Every structure is written in C-alpha cells, then in structure tokens.
A and B are shown apart, each in its own frame.
Chain A
C-alpha cells in the first residue's frame, strides 16, 4: 500500500505541474502585456512626381491601422498633428477614412503656403497613445490655391487624362462598327415577318407552306428577342454581366468539355466593346427598321419591275436611301455611344473617366479632374457632330444643286 500511495502522490504532483505550465502559457493575462501593434505610415502625399509644387492641396497620409490586445486601436483625429517647416499647422481640417485594407488621414484647408521647400512632419496618435511619425520634403509654390478649382492640378494632370481619348475612341469606333452590323442584321430579321400565321393560312391553305412560313419566322423571333433583351436591361448591368458572368460561364463549360480550355476570359476592353456594341446594335436595329420601312413601296416595286432580286433591291435601292434617312438618328446614337464608353470605368478600362477618377483619388480633389474629363467629352462630341454634318450633306448630294 505505501508503495501505491507514493505512486499516486508523484502522479498528482506531475499532473499539477503540467497543468500549471499549460495554464501559464494559455493565460490571457500573461499575453496582454506584450501584444501591441503601433500604426505604420506607408506613404504620404504630395510625393515626387505628383505636382511640380505644393500649393496647399490636401495632404494625405496612408497608414496601417494600429491594434492593441488584438483589438483595433483607432486614430484620434484632433491629436494627430502636422508641422510645415517646423510650424504646427493650426486650424487644419482633419479627416480619417478607413477601409478594410488600410486607412488614410487627410489634412486640408491650410491657412498659408511657404515658398521654396516645405518640410512636412506628421505625428499620428491612437486612442491608447501609440504613435507613428514621418518627415518628408516637397517643393512649395508659395501661393495658396485660391478656390474650388485647382489650375495647377489641371495643368499637370490633364495630359494623363487626355491620353484616355485613345481608349475611348478605340472602343467607340469598334463598337460603332459592330453595332451597325448587329443593327442591320437585327433590322433585317425584324423585317422578315411578311405576314401573320392567320394570313398565311388564309392565303395558301397548305401545311407545307405553313411549315416553311414557321422556319422563315425564326429570324424575326430571334431579332425581336435580341432587341427586347438588350433594350430592356440597363447597359451598366450588361457590362457587369459580360465582364463577371462570362468567366463563370466559361469555367462551368470547362467542366464538361476540354474545348473550353482554349477559350480565355474576356478582358475588360473586349467585354466593354461586346456590351456596348450589342446594346447599341439593339437600338440601331429599330432605327434601321424604321428607316427601311420609311422608303416608299413604289421604290421597291420599280426595282422589282426592273428585275432586281430582293437582295439587289435592298443593296442598291432600299439601304442607300434608308441610310440617308437614319443618319441624323444614328449620329445621335453615336454621340451617346462616345459618352457611354465612360461606363466602362467601372470595369477599370483606362479611358477618360477612369483616369479622372484616379487623379481625383490621388489628390482628394475630384472637381478639377472631372471638369477636365467633361471638357474632353464635350470636345469629342462637337468634333463628331461636325463630321456628321459633312456626311449628311454628302449623302443628300441631290439637294445640293437645285
């Protein structure tokens, strides 16, 4: 028995010691003293390459947020300070914006701007007293930007925004051509309906004819469905659908067939062009249909009396005349198309609006770059209007000399 007692005694001691060690290691009280992450400044604007001189624009400091005891340790706005050339900037407006991936504090509304060089020093303080500091220098203009619009920013960044015209025009031209093709096919499909089923039966009383008639109606149904679906849903939604849903569809198909491995996901540009051309094609199909139907019946009759086939009739007589009728409306749609390329900024196509947004985000000043973008779009449409007028005068050459 004593031997047994001793064994039990040692076993109890062992268990107690192990439990104690485990308990110490896992105790929250022991950890809390050591885990604290101070804020870390990642970058601060203005930095080299943004502007040629600081004129009192908003200063933004991007940082990784602080934590203490595993909990967020937020910045306290009015305890964060900015010194310019060793002078504490008083009366500066501060704003903290937080995002899941990081945070930014902005200083704006500076009372004065030094000339020559501005030496910035920023101190960020958190609720629990953690600190981060950064010093940097930047050239300063000595003149405070007066009001809403920042001419310096516009001057220095409009070049970047203007370079977006390339993408805008590229997308507009390709989409316009494709939209015309889709529109024409759609319009011809819509015009394939020669008569109703009732009329066809009354006329021929033949099941064979009705079967043929049903087949001949298929293009009409397809075209009607196409026009209906693309005119009946928002363009923005179509852009999202093509850009985000098509890859999902391709993935799904890859499960079934290896052929789909060769099909890549459409990029932003391709998706954008597809969405714009399909959407505008649907609208143009109605425009073309109206144009074709506006040509007097006598024209077609005269052409058939001369022995022209339906295709010749369409190509030589109806379409050229219909084209003259629809040019003003088509011009309208193309101006609209130029402007709607801006919707592609949502899928990060680097066209005019996307660039303006990027610049705005960089300086926390959206007004000036967006104004630049607006002027560019306006200029483009004026330019297009001019050419449209020329084209119209050319198409109506018979009206020129009277």
Chain B
C-alpha cells in the first residue's frame, strides 16, 4: 500500500525537458478524479509523430482513463491536452471549448475493448457513417475508402455482414477500420484484445502491427507483452495515477528499475527477464 502514497512514488518531472516541435501529442499535468477518487494525478506525456507508445499498469492505475481523457470521453479537471495544432485547457466549458474538443476528437481514432460497433448497421455502414455525416464525404467516396480499409484489415468479404454475424476478432478489426476511416493522426487503443479468444488475438495484433509499421502514431493500453516488445517505441508503466517508469520496451520490460514495475511484471510475464529472477523478499 505504501506504493500508492504520492510521496512514495518517484515522479517524472512535470515539464519534460527538450520538447521539440515534432511532438504530435502533448499532455501537461493532467488531473482527473471521479468524485473523491483521484485517478490521474498530474500526468504529462509527449508523443511524436509515428511513435508507438504502450501504457502498462495494473487495473485501476489510470491508463484507460488517460486514453479516454485524450479524446474527451472523460472530462479532466486540470491540465491541458494538445493534439496537432489544437490545445484544450481542461475543465472549461462554453462554445469555443467544446469546438476545440471536437477538433481534437477528429484527429484521434479510438478502438475500444468491447468493440462498440453499431449493431443496427452493417460493417460497411459502420465504417462510412462518420465520414458521410461528420466530414460530409459522398456515399461513393466513403464506400470506396471503406472497401480499401476492409481489404487492409482482411475483412473484404464481410462488408455486408452485421456485427452480430461476425467473430470477435473480425469485429475488432472492423472497429479499427471504422476509426481509420476518419483519417486520424493518432490512434488510441484501449485494451483492444482483452475481450477476445486467445486464437483471435493474433489477427488483431497483426493489423495493429501493420498500422504501426505504416507510420501511424499510436497510444496502446494492452497486456500483450509480445506486442509491446515487438512494436512499441516506448513503454510507460503507470500506477496510482502517475507514470512510475518510462523507457524503451527492452529496458522497461526486461530490466525495470522501479520495484513497483518489477512486481507488476512478475505477474504478467511468464519469465521475468533473464537473470533478474524475483527474490522472495521483494515485497
């Protein structure tokens, strides 16, 4: 429990040094609480264009909330969020505030743990709904692009199926295609494989990997350590609403510095990084 005390956790500096102009996402000192419960306690993050960031951490550590705060599915109380050219100061209200929130949302694609496909629309209709009504593309244009995206995620033959008629893995890939249809600059993945059968996870991770290789900026919350070590440029371990440790995957996953990180990884990884086997007194 001592690890949860704010003073016991070594924090990263609030202002990251050497912030260059290439940063696509910049989050500064983000605070979020649900009533009395503080979920994010001053989180700062910078993500560069084309970078893949994996967020790790136990449940309740605030990683999903951070993701949902970035595109304003949750309203944070303090801090600011910048995506692309738009900066939003949190906790505001009024027309201008909501318009800039909308601007940020348009640049973020989000993939949810439980897919959230629209059950009353076919896969194709799911994908073209937002381009048609939000950005105002024509039906032909949107459909053409949707078919391309479906091809990309390997669902070319499922365009006219309804979500209830396809498997979980196919649903998640359709959801990725739906998010990509809005041409986002940043993709947010909120535990995209947690609701899937083990044999279906591979397809989804494959699509995500392709996406990363094609240069998409991604922030991923996942428990898939294989994906993290293969694809991520940077891993961040979160606990108690703050970043505990941050670094390249090979370092953070296999040679963590913080005790809390080691403890967590011991539960997740089958073999915790070579010689660094856990000692009994680690607690």
Query: Which one of A299, A308, A397, A402 contacts B116 once the chains associate, using CB atoms below 8 Å?
Result: A299
Residue of B nearest to A315 (CB): B133
Q: Which residue of the partner chain, among B119, B120, B130, contacts A306 with CB atoms under 8 Å?
A: B130
Which residue of B105, B109, B122 contacts A304 across the interface (Cβ within 8 Å)? B105
Chain A residue contacts of B164, Cβ below 8 A: 398-399, 402
Q: How far is the CA of A398 from the CA of B178 in the complex (A)?
A: 19
- Give the nearest-CB partner of A396 in chain B: B120
Question: Which chain A residue has the least Cβ–Cβ distance from B181?
Answer: A306
Q: How far is the CA of A298 from the CA of B175 in the complex (A)?
A: 13
Q: Produce 1/0 per residue, B107-122, CB < 8 A to A.
A: 0111010101111101
- Asked whether any CB of chain A lies closer than 8 Å to the CB of B168, the reply is no
A304, A305, A398: the one contacting B119 at CB < 8 Å is A398
What residues of chain A lie closer than 8 Å to B116, measured between beta carbons? Answer: 296, 298-299, 301-302
Distance A329 CA – B117 CA, assembled complex (angstroms):
25
In the bound complex, how far is the Cα of B98 from the Cα of A105, in angstroms?
A: 79
Interface of B is mostly: mixed
- B253 interface hit (Cβ, 8 Å): no
- Chain A residues closer than 8 Å to B90, beta-carbon distance: none
The one of A306, A312, A399 in contact with B178, judged by C-beta atoms closer than 8 angstroms, is A306
Q: Within 8 Å of chain B (Cβ to Cβ): is A3?
A: no
A307 within 8 Å of B (CB atoms): yes
Q: CA–CA, A402 to B102, complex, Å? A: 37
Interface of A: prevailing SS: helix
Cβ of A302 to closest chain B Cβ, rounded Å:
4
Instruction: Give chain A residues whose Cβ lies under 8 Å from the Cβ of B120.
Output: 320-321, 324, 395, 398
Which of A204, A296, A302, A399 has the most chain B CB atoms closer than 10 A to its own CB?
A302
The distance from the CB of B104 to the nearest CB of chain A, in whole angstroms, is 10
Contact yes or no, A305 B165, CB < 8 A: no
Assess the B106–A301 pair: CB atoms within 8 A: no
Is there an interface contact between A308 and B71, defined as CB atoms closer than 8 Å? no
Q: Nearest-CB distance from B218 to chain A (Å)?
A: 15
Q: Does B134 contact A (CB under 8 A)?
A: yes
In Å, the complex CA distance between A398 and B109 comes to 26
* Contact size range, A: 20 to 34
- Within the assembled complex, what's the spacing in Å between the Cα atoms of A320 and B72? 25
**Measured CA separation A316–B121 after assembly (Å):** 10
- A306, B106: Cα distance in complex, Å: 7
Asked if B182 is an interface residue, CB under 8 A from chain A, the answer is yes
Q: Please determine whether A307 and B165 come into contact, CB atoms closer than 8 angstroms.
A: no
Whole-angstrom CA separation of A143 from B172 in the bound complex: 79
Shortest distance from the beta carbon of B252 to any chain A beta carbon, whole Å: 28
Partner of A308, one of B114, B130, B163: B130
A401 at the interface (CB under 8 A from B): yes
- Residues of A near B93 (CB, < 8 A) are 204, 209
Using known A-B contacts A301-B73, A324-B120, A401-B165, determine if residue A316 contacts B110 with beta carbons closer than 8 Å: no
Asked if A398 and B110 make an inter-chain contact with CB atoms under 8 angstroms apart, the answer reads no
- Closest beta carbon of chain B to A295's beta carbon, Å: 10
Tell me the bound Cα distance from A304 to B116 in angstroms: 12
CA distance A324 to B162 in the complex (A): 15
Whether A398 lies near B73 (C-beta < 8 A) is no
B238 interface residue per 8 A CB criterion: no
* B25 proximal to A (CB < 8 A): no
Residues of B within 8 A of A304 (CB): 72-73, 105
Contacts A305-B73, A305-B109; is A397 near B162 (CB within 8 Å)?
yes
The distance from the CB of B36 to the nearest CB of chain A, in whole angstroms, is 11
Given contacts A305-B71, A305-B108, A308-B133, contact A398 B163 (CB under 8 A): yes
B236 at interface by CB-CB < 8 Å: no
Contacts of A306 in B (CB 8 A): 105, 129-130, 134, 178-179, 182
Collect the chain B residues with CB atoms within 8 Å of residue A312's CB: 133-134
For A324, the chain B residues whose CB sits under 8 A away are: 120
Interface residue? A41 (CB, 8 A): no
List chain B positions with a Cβ less than 8 A from chain A: 71-73, 93, 102, 105-106, 108-110, 112, 114, 116-120, 122, 129-130, 133-135, 162-165, 175, 178-179, 182
A-B residue pairs in contact (CB < 8 Å), sample of 26: A298-B116, A301-B112, A302-B116, A302-B117, A303-B118, A303-B130, A304-B105, A305-B73, A305-B105, A305-B110, A306-B105, A306-B130, A306-B178, A307-B106, A307-B134, A307-B182, A308-B130, A308-B133, A308-B134, A312-B133, A312-B134, A395-B120, A398-B119, A398-B122, A398-B165, A402-B165
Which 9 residue pairs spanning A and B have beta carbons closest together?
A398-B162, A302-B116, A306-B130, A305-B110, A298-B116, A307-B106, A307-B134, A307-B105, A398-B164
Excluding A305-B109, A398-B122, 4 further A-B contacts by CB distance (< 8 Å) are A308-B134, A398-B120, A398-B163, A398-B164
